[in-house]
Structure 1
Amino acid sequence: MPNNPITRGLSGLAERFATPGLSRPTLADTIAARQRFFGGEAVDPDTGAVRADQAILTWFGCASFAVALGGTVFLLDAWVPRGATSGYVPTTPAEVAALRPAAIFIGHGHFDHAADAGPITQASGAVLYGTAEHCATARSQTNSAEFECVELGSESSKPGDRYDFELAEGLSVTAVRHIHSARTARHEGPDACARVIPAPGVRDMLRYPTTLTDAAQLARRLGDREGGVLLYQFRTESFTLTWHDSSGPLLDNAPEVLEELRTLPASDVHVGAVQGYNQFTNGLRDPRSYIEALRPKVFVPNHHDNWFPLITARGEAFRTPLEAELARIPDGPELRMLLDPDDYVAPGRLAFKLGG
């Protein structure tokens, strides 16, 4: 950001109301957090272990999810939306850290995806996965660099680059480099999509007024760099989950990514970003290209909620255009629509039996 009076003022506000570091959670904290996020019946009340016969995904705003897959707990992105509002998402970074995830996967480094990555990683003891730039940004968010971060390329890596590794026994991961959402020229003809231009949901700023602490935390992180964009697929013997927190114009700018995605196993559940810059020109054409390549049984939207009311709207605004795009796909997936704020921290919304 340029060094002007407004920027200096925001920086001073941020320093004055800086978010304190997060404490290491106790076992009692972890049991309580996991029961809230994954459901009491899925969590051992003495150990906090999550049952291994299910995949449970719990949304906590924008593109952030807590996941329990085959008993392994991990996070997809690491930001509890706040700053423009406070309390709209009913959790905190401390409660998310209390989940004690084994790993945190960053899709890209903008504030609305990774602003809490460093503190949550440090407090929870998780291993962070992302590009070299994501790792550097996360470390800059804490007073200590004492956490493990696995670098999956860098911002200079090529779209379509692939990284394969094991997260736990019986749980493999593939990361694929892709591109951020971007506006492209209007497409006409049979593949044209209706523009999606919802009115900003500013009423939520009045219903959930922000605090100085939350506004300062947002101000501190507004300039965080993208650092490259990664899509992740998680596979057990009987279940495949794919997630990405941005949907770029692959058809126009990176068709090689679509070629790579088609080589992956078909997804049982695909959780993909639908809000993006190209919605104003080409509607949901870009998200549809990911869905067609990944061939899921179930599609779940993310990054479609009112996380920044000056420029966003509630998820209901995306339901009709998303249904229209899925209807264009032969034998397309079932839509599991998530709607804010009712579907935040709601473990029953996305629970799947492994092998079922």
Structure 2
Amino acid sequence: MARNPELGSLGESIQRGLVTPLRRGLGAFAERVSAQPIAEPTLAETIAARQRFFGADLVDAETGAVRSDRVVLSWFGCASFAVALGGSVFLLDAWVPRGATSGYVPTTPAEVAALRPAAIFIGHGHFDHAADAGPIAQASGAVIHGTVEHCATARKQVKSPGFSCVTLGSSTSLPGARYDFDLAPGISVTAVRHIHSARTERYAGADACAPVKPIPQIGDMRRYPTTLADTAHLVRRLTDPEGGVLLYQFHTEKFTLTWHDSSGPLLDKAPEVLETLRELPASDVHVGAVQGYNQFTNGLRDPRSYIEALRAKVFVPNHHDNWLPLITARGSAFRAPLETALATIPDGPKLRMLLDPDDYVTPGVLAFDA
């Protein structure tokens, strides 16, 4: 992770308190502790995983097929979700948080691979979003969707990669670039290039948001002590590059889902992206990142700009949990700021709050009629 003056307090905390010490003290160790490949899942493992993530009533007990009349999102940490939509299973990001803790998120990359997702959609390539993408795709046969750089990073995560990757531009594509394609019969996808969260100068206009500065909660490191293997995994993946940032919208005949794993300062640096988002169909459910580098200066102003443009019925926060306890806090710290921000939007969405760790891998929390 290169030194970047735009990262502000959060980036400096990562650099001084985590990245530099781990690089110096654990780099050689991480190389010695090799990552174990994930075995191809059996049908029994797929049925069990799908029933756990999506609910037994949604999954055929003999074939593992998922019903098409319900939409279920099952959260497994940071911005990662397993999704059952229109009879298809796919992942939004692919990382089970671990390294500073172990077991805080009650699943494993092997169990996620056992879902046998048809696709993995990468929002951006940092470790906390895509560190398990390659191994999961290799074991499950999932097709990765992301930029050229996302695909290259995922292939480096495994030996002799044999999975497919659909490239959607590159890190140099212009913000606002749009890519439309089909995932499966009856499911279309729109990907939009946007920008990563970044610190901007304090905004003092009428629609300013108060800074959000949750106190880091390191107690979870004691309650969920890490293992050597998980620490090595984190050290190996810490410097994975961003590789560009993508927002995805999924459409069926009667349902629209939008997801993004970072919320950039579009109002200040890429207003053309907001124009593109306003042209998209209104979302039934919008799952958007709320934790970011600008929260310390401008609170939730950046996430609010996405929410206003996407016009959803329901908003679900992501990237707001205690995925790295040295610098993060539990999602409960974001409830009040989110309620305040949404209250300023005329006819704004209802808030469907996610709280860690109770809402991890809990299919009933985000279940909707299709």
Structure 1 pair 5–86 and aligned structure 2 pair: CA distance change class (3 A): closer
In structure 1, what is the equivalent of residue 120 of structure 2?
A: 104
In structure 1, what is the equivalent of residue 107 of structure 2?
A: 91
In structure 1, what is the equivalent of residue 261 of structure 2?
A: 245
Opposite residue 163 of structure 2, the aligned amino acid is F
Cα separation, 2, equivalents of 1:345 and 1:59 = 5
1:316 equivalent among 332, 354, 357: 332
Cα separation, 1, equivalents of 2:33 and 2:302 = 39
Cα separation, 1, equivalents of 2:149 and 2:179 = 16
Q: CA deviation at 1:182?
A: 0.2
Q: CA deviation at 1:19?
A: 2.0
Is the aligned partner of 1:137 residue 2:146? no
In structure 1, what is the equivalent of residue 13 of structure 2?
A: none
Opposite residue 205 of structure 1, the aligned amino acid is M
Opposite residue 352 of structure 1, the aligned amino acid is F
Cα separation, 2, equivalents of 1:201 and 1:36 = 28
* 1:2-17 matched pairs, under 5 angstroms: 7=23, 9-17=25-33
In structure 2, what is the equivalent of residue 158 of structure 1?
A: 174
Q: Report the 3-state secondary structure (helix = DSSP H, G, I; strand = E; otherwise coil) of the residue aligned with 2:163.
A: coil
Cα separation, 2, equivalents of 1:5 and 1:350 = 38
Q: CA deviation at 1:191?
A: 1.3
Tell me the number of residue pairs that the alignment of Structure 1 and Structure 2 aligns. 353
Structure 1 pair 28–6 and aligned structure 2 pair: CA distance change class (3 A): closer
1:180 equivalent among 171, 196, 201: 196
Q: Report the 3-state secondary structure (helix = DSSP H, G, I; strand = E; otherwise coil) of the residue aligned with 2:82.
A: strand
Is the aligned partner of 1:225 residue 2:241? yes
Is the aligned partner of 1:343 residue 2:350? no
| Structure 1 gap segments, 5+ residues each | none
Q: CA deviation at 1:9?
A: 4.3
Is the aligned partner of 1:327 residue 2:343? yes
Opposite residue 259 of structure 2, the aligned amino acid is W
In structure 1, what is the equivalent of residue 271 of structure 2?
A: 255
Opposite residue 215 of structure 1, the aligned amino acid is T
Q: Report the 3-state secondary structure (helix = DSSP H, G, I; strand = E; otherwise coil) of the residue aligned with 1:243.
A: strand
Q: CA deviation at 1:43?
A: 0.3
Cα separation, 2, equivalents of 1:13 and 1:336 = 41
Is the aligned partner of 1:21 residue 2:70? no
Q: CA deviation at 1:13?
A: 1.2
Q: CA deviation at 1:10?
A: 2.3
* 1:181-220 matched pairs, under 5 angstroms: 181-220=197-236
Cα separation, 2, equivalents of 1:70 and 1:161 = 26
Structure 1 vs Structure 2 CA RMSD: 1.2
Opposite residue 73 of structure 1, the aligned amino acid is V
| Structure 2 gap segments, 5+ residues each | 3-19
Which deviations, in whole Å up to 9, do the C-alpha atoms of 1:175-204 show, x marking residues without a partner? 000000000000113111110000001110
In structure 1, what is the equivalent of residue 162 of structure 2?
A: 146
CA contact (8 A) 2:22 2:235 kept: no
In structure 1, what is the equivalent of residue 7 of structure 2?
A: none
Opposite residue 265 of structure 1, the aligned amino acid is P
Is the aligned partner of 1:31 residue 2:31? no
CA contact (8 A) 2:194 2:264 kept: yes
Q: CA deviation at 1:146?
A: 1.2
CA contact (8 A) 2:40 2:140 kept: yes
Opposite residue 160 of structure 2, the aligned amino acid is S
Q: CA deviation at 1:70?
A: 1.0
Is the aligned partner of 1:301 residue 2:317? yes
Q: CA deviation at 1:281?
A: 0.2
Cα separation, 2, equivalents of 1:17 and 1:91 = 21
Which deviations, in whole Å up to 9, do the C-alpha atoms of 1:60-94 show, x marking residues without a partner? 00000000001100000000000010000000000
Q: Report the 3-state secondary structure (helix = DSSP H, G, I; strand = E; otherwise coil) of the residue aligned with 1:138.
A: helix
CA contact (8 A) 2:60 2:66 kept: yes
Structure 1 pair 289–12 and aligned structure 2 pair: CA distance change class (3 A): same
Cα separation, 2, equivalents of 1:68 and 1:5 = 40
Q: Report the 3-state secondary structure (helix = DSSP H, G, I; strand = E; otherwise coil) of the residue aligned with 2:47.
A: helix
In structure 1, what is the equivalent of residue 8 of structure 2?
A: none
Structure 1 pair 25–335 and aligned structure 2 pair: CA distance change class (3 A): same
Structure 1 pair 171–211 and aligned structure 2 pair: CA distance change class (3 A): same
Cα separation, 2, equivalents of 1:142 and 1:71 = 29
Q: CA deviation at 1:12?
A: 1.6
With normalisation by structure 1, the TM-score equals 0.98
Structure 1 pair 5–228 and aligned structure 2 pair: CA distance change class (3 A): closer
Structure 1 pair 270–6 and aligned structure 2 pair: CA distance change class (3 A): closer
CA contact (8 A) 2:216 2:328 kept: yes
Identity of aligned residues (%): 78
Q: Report the 3-state secondary structure (helix = DSSP H, G, I; strand = E; otherwise coil) of the residue aligned with 1:331.
A: coil
4+ residue runs of structure 1 moved beyond 4 angstroms?
A: none
Q: CA deviation at 1:145?
A: 2.1
In structure 2, what is the equivalent of residue 285 of structure 1?
A: 301
In structure 2, what is the equivalent of residue 121 of structure 1?
A: 137
CA contact (8 A) 2:134 2:158 kept: yes
Cα separation, 2, equivalents of 1:272 and 1:201 = 22
